[in-house]
Amino acid sequence: MKHDRLIAGLDVGSSKTRLAVARIEEKENGQRKINIIGLSEVPTEGFTKGNVSNLEDLVSTISLVVEKSEIVIGLPIEEICLGISGDHITSSISKGVVAISKANNEIEEEDVERAIESVKSMAIPPNYENLHIIPTSFNIDSQTNIKDPIGMTGIKLEAEVQVISGLNTRINNFTKSVDRTSLEIDSLVFSVLATAEAILDKKQKELGVLVLDIGHTLTKGAIFEEGEVIHAFNIPIGSSHITADLAIGLRSSIEVAEKVKRKQGTLDLSSLRRTEQVDLNKYEDNKDNSLRKNSFSKRYINEIIEARVDEIFSFVATELKKAKRFGKLPAGVVLTGGGAKLPYLTDYVKNKLSLPSSLGNLKGLSSSIDNVDDSSYSTVCGLVLWNALDQEKRKKRTFNINLNFLKNFDKLKKLLKKLTP
């Protein structure tokens, strides 16, 4: 007998808020098909650079995208996998050590869980919460770099883990905006990890790869090797900064600068002549200002774009060097996000980072929706895939935030307020 169930992912960005809904078709042979049946998008209000700036506006934004999706699919949406990002998210390596519990010194699953759990009790920066504790390798006594220690023998087991944390006040404010809607949060995920689920395959993760999501105000990255995350980062610069630079350089509005970037932007500067001009009047809604210069060379426009792209990828290079992986990832860099649409970006990245470069394509999903393959939707589709992971796979993604506690505490405060005279 076949059983179908709905899953959903919510991606709140500085520019757009997106909600994807999928149906999981469970087959009798144990296989399953994940089919995106709804994909909705609305402009974001009350949220920028991963931070809540106006709670009520953000609640309205999320409620609107939910309402829009429910109209499309004709069904209520109850639970979502929520992506989180922001300049407050940090990534670090930590270690947890335990003694083997059995008398014969054979390592069991309980020992592995205790070693990973011991990391939680270690000191983290004040006011921070652990989002993910992801084991990368294990050490047994003097033997290192073990992937699966279960069944092996030893006296001491050490777990090396990737710890991804965030400021608890910002996390709480963000989750509160969802709690005030009709939605329940099933899981909370550092968004670039979800993006990786959507566009990376197992082989890429094994060989070594950087997934890079160039968003509106943030650029997010995660490095995978031997199947696990070994480094993750946020860069507080995105495609909107390129637009702002153009607005200053062209003395135009943000709206005109965005149109020029989309229509005239390229990183293939060698093919451009300084005599080639771009008439801004083609992009102006109001063309009455005849005194202002309305024509600029296409090369000048793209030199402005390249300068900001240089800055972004200088930070990316620093993160690769920090992880000791600059020029050393066989599967290269996989680009996604709205900012990845800039023509000739892959060629630029190959030269800048000394790595192969490609645009990410969705994997593991089917859909009849036309624009589901657009790179702007890779994160929200990844959140759907993350939500579809079975319980065994989810054990590798340890959440330190008790979402149910936060919700119940909020409800308790409301109840006490009513009872207080």
Concatenating the DSSP letter of every residue in 185-215 gives EEEEEEHHHHHHHHH--HHHHHH-EEEEEE-
pLDDT at site 223: 97
Residue 67 has pLDDT above 90, yes or no: yes
pLDDT at site 398: 43
The letter for the amino acid at 215 is: G
Reported as a single tens digit per residue, the pLDDT across 203-243 is 999 999 999 999 999 999 999 999 999 999 999 999 999 99
Please report, rounded to a whole number, the percentage of residues in the chain having pLDDT higher than 70.
89
When the pLDDT of each residue in the chain is averaged and rounded to a whole number, the result is 88
Measure the CA dihedral 391/393/398/403, to 10°.
-40
pLDDT at site 412: 47
Residue 421 has pLDDT above 90, yes or no: no
Reported as a single tens digit per residue, the pLDDT across 316-349 is 999 999 999 999 999 999 999 999 999 999 999 9
Residue 356 has which token pair? 């192969």
CATH architecture observed for domain 90-165:
2-Layer Sandwich (3.30)
Residue 27 has pLDDT above 90, yes or no: no
Q: What is the CATH number of domain 239-302?
A: 3.30.420.40
Give the predicted TM-score (pTM) of the model: 0.87
pLDDT at site 26: 75
Reported as a single tens digit per residue, the pLDDT across 359-418 is 999 988 888 888 888 999 999 999 999 988 754 455 444 444 444 444 444 544 444 444
At 274 the three-state DSSP class reads coil
**Which range, 103-107, 253-257, 385-389, is most confident?**
253-257
For Cα atoms 314, 316, 321, give the angle at the middle one, nearest 5 degrees.
Answer: 95
Residue 324 has which token pair? 């000791």
pLDDT at site 248: 97
Domain range list for the chain:
1-88+166-200+363-421, 90-165, 239-302
pLDDT at site 148: 92
Residue 71 has pLDDT above 70, yes or no: yes
Can you tell me the distance from the alpha carbon of 332 to that of 326, in angstroms, rounded to the nearest whole number? Answer: 10
Closest CA to 221 of 355, 120, 344, 125: 355
pLDDT at site 397: 43
Closest CA to 192 of 303, 336, 72: 336
pLDDT at site 123: 63
- Is residue 166 packed enough to be buried (19+ CB in 10 Å), middle (13-18) or exposed (0-12)? buried
Closest CA to 293 of 277, 305, 308, 271: 277
pLDDT at site 1: 40
| Cα Dmax for the chain | 87
Reported as a single tens digit per residue, the pLDDT across 163-181 is 999 999 999 999 999 999 9
Domains 1-88+166-200+363-421 and 90-165 share a fold: no
- Is residue 20 packed enough to be buried (19+ CB in 10 Å), middle (13-18) or exposed (0-12)? buried
CATH architecture observed for domain 1-88+166-200+363-421:
2-Layer Sandwich (3.30)
pLDDT at site 393: 58
Confidence class for position 294, pLDDT limits 50, 70, 90: confident
Residue 274 has pLDDT above 90, yes or no: no
